[in-house]
A and B are shown apart, each in its own frame.
Chain A
Amino acid sequence: PAGGAAPRPCSTQAAPQGINKPVIDRIIRVDHAGEYGANRIYAGQMAVLGRSSVGPVIQQMWNQEKVHLKKFNELMVAYRVRPTVLLPFWNVAGFVLGAGSALLGKKGAMACTVAVEESISDHYNNQIRTLMEEDPEKYKELLQVIKQFRDDEREHHDIGIEHDAEATPAYSVLKTAIQLGCKAAIFLSERI
């Protein structure tokens, strides 16, 4: 990394040499988009349920997502990765999903959380597998970050289950629909 108090922290030396640029590009781009979307989902949920009893729980999960997004912003600059062009779209779609699921009630919001977090942890697991196959030593730092975040998302998933997500009416339909949307979002953000 560029170093402590660099006047303009934009050195190309920040990104290590000899990395598989296309693969790392995709990974960071899609993860950044994912964390951005997750932030917007929680923002939507807070907008509706902020003052209810699950408000603090959602707020706490949202804070963790903010930390994740900040980390990916840093990685994006360090590896000089292009953000996905669909960001404005995920901005709106995420908020609508969060607010929409929250309008179905507290259980609905938790169901949405469970679905999204399950998708995300599967996705992170895939990435960990890819990086391990490439070269665990070279990508040690990135692997650590993704593993940590995957554990956080698993925790969110478990919190959702604890708060009766599965008791939502039409839970399996809702969950399938949301996970399909997540898969599509991941596919598009990797490429565009």
Chain B
Amino acid sequence: MATRWPGVTPYSPISAAAAKLAVAERGTGQGRERERGRVSAKCQHYPPVRALQASAVLRRVSDEHKKEPFTPSSQQQFDTHPAGHQPEQEPQGPRPSYTGQGGQESEDYESEEQLQRRILTAALEFVPEHGWTTEAIAEGAKTLGLSVAAAGMFHSDGSELILHFVSECNAKLSELLEKEQKLVQLGEAEKKPTDEFLRDAVEARLRMLIPYIEKWPQALSVLLLPRNIPSGLSLLTSMIDDIWHYAGDQSTDFNWYTRRAVLTGIYNTTELVMLQDSSPDFEDTWRFLENRVADAMNMSSTASQVQSTGEAVVQGLMGAAVTIRNLAGLNQRR
């Protein structure tokens, strides 16, 4: 149930090129020269050897690849999906734009996106050992029965692997919160107070990092690369929005922004504390989290106290002014 992230699609040229090569090799002589020409135009940013490796992978996956002309445009279609796109709204099957010219699809047809996701999910198992690198992706591809050349489909700094991991964690968190909410609606569980809800949600999400905690600093630094900032940021904002939504936030004014900004701060600082925490089961981190959430609650109650005090002061001053006016006789109508 991974969410798509906008902006991360440098591979349509490769995959389009690779798939074109795969088909061109099978195609008629007439089409061949034209397709090669198109392929080399699109390959200008990437070494051609990657295209061949990728085509080897793609050929292994499915015999009937008919999607090449549509891949670039469908990738662009994915780009326009907004950041806050709900996981539940992802179509489950292959996208209709992939139907080939004949309008036929094979039974076990798998889109490139789905293949990439499968490889990355398999690669996560090897991350604690190899880090967020091409080696982990290659190992993952091996477990799926694909050639290690499949790792050539991805960037060498592991960006896609990390983004995939983050979006998988966010999807898991949404599922968890949805389940909890159903229990409350059915009356089988108590509604949690807001601070406890936020604490539990952030803790649940951060616990997903525990198996990868050794390599997580590396992941964070990759996420800060300019190329990855839009996607990373949109994943973060949609996660925070999800947590507030399930916490029951219904604000439609500027509070909407304040709350999300505060929770983002809490999440990020707790994440950083977690990276340096060596206490058993990260107790120190959860205590830090509890204190920050309590601070946030205090802040909001302090803000409303300040406002009501201010209003009371203004009323007092108005009352004093009216009294003085009356005493000075300025209120008389002559």
Q: Which residues of A contact B (CB under 8 A)?
A: 6-12, 17-18, 21-22, 25, 32, 72-73, 76-77, 80, 82-83, 85, 87-88
Contact = CB atoms under 8 A, between A and B. Distances in A.
- In this complex, the member of B246, B248, B250 whose beta carbon has the largest number of chain A beta carbons within 10 angstroms is B250
Interface string B249-261: 1101110110000
Contact of A18 (B89, B246, B250): B89
A77 to B, nearest CB: 5
A17 B185 contact: no
Contacts of B191: 7-8
Given A83-B252, A87-B254, A12 B178 contact: yes
Contact of A12 (B80, B245, B248, B249): B245
Contacts of B250: 9-10, 77
B246 A10 contact: yes
Contacts of A73: 252
A11 B181 contact: yes
A7 B257 CA distance: 24
B152 interface: no
Interface string B228-260: 000000000000010001111110111011000
Contacts of A80: 84, 241, 245
B88 A7 contact: no
A11 B246 CA distance: 7
A21 B184 contact: no
A21 B181 contact: no
A11 B185 contact: yes
Contacts of B245: 10, 12, 80
Contacts of A21: 82, 84-86, 89
Interface residues of B, number: 24
A76 B181 contact: no
Nearest to B182: A11
Contacts of A72: 252
Interface in B79-94: 80, 82, 84-86, 88-89
B87 to A, nearest CB: 10
* 10 A-B pairs closest in CB distance: A8-B248, A73-B252, A77-B250, A76-B252, A10-B248, A22-B82, A83-B252, A83-B256, A87-B254, A88-B254
A177 B246 CA distance: 43
Contacts of B246: 10
A9 B257 CA distance: 20
B184 A17 contact: no
Given A12-B86, A12-B178, A25-B82, A82 B185 contact: no
B256 A12 contact: no
A10 B257 contact: no
A163 B23 CA distance: 74
A9 B246 CA distance: 9
15 contacts: A6-B185, A7-B185, A8-B185, A8-B248, A10-B181, A10-B246, A11-B181, A12-B178, A12-B245, A21-B82, A21-B85, A25-B82, A76-B252, A83-B254, A83-B256
Contacts of B178: 12
- In this complex, the member of B89, B178, B249 whose beta carbon has the largest number of chain A beta carbons within 10 angstroms is B89
Nearest to B241: A80
Contact of A83 (B80, B185, B253): B253
